[in-house]
Amino acid sequence: MPRLIAILMLLLSACGSVNYNALPEGRFDGALFVMWVGEGSAQAGDGKFVYVPMPNDPLTFTRSAQDATLRVIRPQIMYTDGGSIPRVAQPFRGLSPWGYAPGYVVHDWLFLARNCVAAGIANPEEARVADMPFQESAEVLGEAIKTLIAENRVAPDDVAPNAISGAVAGPISRSLWGRKGGCPEPRISPEHMAQVERALGRLTAQEEGRRIRPPDGPVAGIVSIVQF
């Protein structure tokens, strides 16, 4: 087991440094809503996924860190792959790419927003991330994981939170923070947006007890709904 732990730390830790144990807990509200819109690629893995803010109840992470440059984080619609965990590490407890999904979505959105700021095409919500330093983005993910554990959303783990927090503070992540070409325009392709809208229309109809005719064209598949 010590050898496996060492291997995991090596795989995940082309690392920077985050003092995970010293990070404060925050609070999650709203709902995590992830949809599958198509096949993936060698980079995208199991498919192409879209985080969709739940109408009237979007996922929100409120931080308690006293020095937070951004206290309330509310991700907008975007592509996400969950946690970018190396495949060889994914079978180990706590290292599924969706194991800490709400935290990964928050972290992914911070990177998207920062890249859109760098590209000069940030919308008002994305522009709020402009002053956040890279190191703080890694701390946000650590805070989110610690919050999920404190809220009994996931099981405690001795290795994964520290390893993941360190990995996202490393040089690979740093190179993606504010990079050119990292802000798609539009954020979601028209094709995938149409799939998402069809799925939302079907979901709304089901909640209201209405029957609708089958949508024309592909419909995004609901992967996960997590309510806080």
Determine the Cα–Cα distance for residues 128 and 154; give it in Å rounded to an integer: 29
Cite the DSSP H helix spans in 52-189. Answer: 101-119, 124-127, 134-150, 160-167, 171-176
pLDDT at 4 over 80: no
State the average pLDDT for the chain: 82
pLDDT of residue 204: 81
Determine the Cα–Cα distance for residues 211 and 216; give it in Å rounded to an integer: 15
CA dihedral of 97, 99, 104, 106, whole degrees rounded to 10: 150
- The reported pTM is 0.84
CA atoms within 13 A of residue 166's CA, in its CB half-sphere = 16
The three-class DSSP label of residue 168 is: coil
Q: Check residues 80 and 3 and name the one with the higher pLDDT.
A: 80
Ranking 52-66, 93-107, 194-208 by mean pLDDT, the lowest is: 93-107
**Residue in this structure with the two tokens 């690392």, named with its chain if needed:** 15
pLDDT tens sequence across 83-137: 453 333 333 343 344 678 899 899 999 999 999 999 999 999 999 999 999 999 9
Query: Per the omega criterion (within 30 degrees of 0), is the bond before 133 cis?
Result: no
pLDDT at 50 over 70: yes
Q: How confident is the model at residue 202 (pLDDT cuts 50, 70, 90)?
A: confident
Ranking 16-20, 91-95, 185-189 by mean pLDDT, the lowest is: 91-95
pLDDT tens sequence across 133-159: 999 999 999 999 999 999 998 878 766
pLDDT tens sequence across 63-75: 999 999 999 999 9
Q: Check residues 15 and 171 and name the one with the higher pLDDT.
A: 171
Q: Check residues 176 and 45 and name the one with the higher pLDDT.
A: 176
Contacts with 217 (C-beta within 8 Å, 6 or more apart), sequence order:
194, 195, 198
The three-class DSSP label of residue 67 is: coil
Calculate mean pLDDT across residues 13-39.
85
Token code pair at residue 104: 């990964």
pLDDT of residue 97: 47
